[in-house]
Amino acid sequence: MMATAFEVGSVDELPPGSARIITVRGVEIGVFNVDGAYHALPNLCFHQWGPLCTGKITGTLAACARSDWHPRWEREGRIVVCPWHSLEFDITTGQCLAYPRVKLRRYPVTVEAGIVKVLV
């Protein structure tokens, strides 16, 4: 089955750092603009089916070997936090930060003549 493009809005209506939720065939999809690149995820947190894409867009605190295990703020504007229980997801990959085996479905997004479209 071929994907169908559904309009999200104009690029002016979805500036960097913003998100919009659309409903396509009864499914809510969050479309995000991260530094000028568009990404789309289901508006559904796997934990208890919370409205993930209505959550805050932020960064995350992380400590790793490259920071000598000192906490530092990373991925500013790339993380959406589920408003129900605060699980964090990378908008650009769909990856859940707390559960590395969990990755959300991502929908392709295109821009045609200044109109953002999600392919479903």
Cβ atoms of residues 96 and 103 within 8 Å: yes
pLDDT tens-digit map of 24-79: 999 999 999 999 999 999 999 999 999 999 999 999 998 888 888 999 999 999 99
Cβ atoms of residues 8 and 119 within 8 Å: no
Check residue 104 and give its pLDDT: 98
The full set of domain ranges for the chain reads: 5-55+82-119
Query: Residue 11, SS3?
Result: helix
5-55+82-119 belongs to CATH 2.102.10.10: yes
Provide the sign of the torsion angle of the four alpha carbons 58, 82, 104, 63, taken in this order.
Answer: positive
Q: pTM of the full predicted structure?
A: 0.91
Q: Is the pLDDT of residue 109 over 90?
A: yes
Check residue 54 and give its pLDDT: 98
CA distances from 59 to 28, 54, 69, 71, 84 (A): 23, 15, 18, 13, 18
Provide the sign of the torsion angle of the four alpha carbons 89, 30, 56, 58, taken in this order.
Answer: positive
> Long-range contacts made by residues 33-37, C-beta under 8 angstroms, separation at least 24?
34/77, 34/78, 34/91, 34/92, 35/77, 37/92
Closest CA to 91 of 48, 55, 47: 55
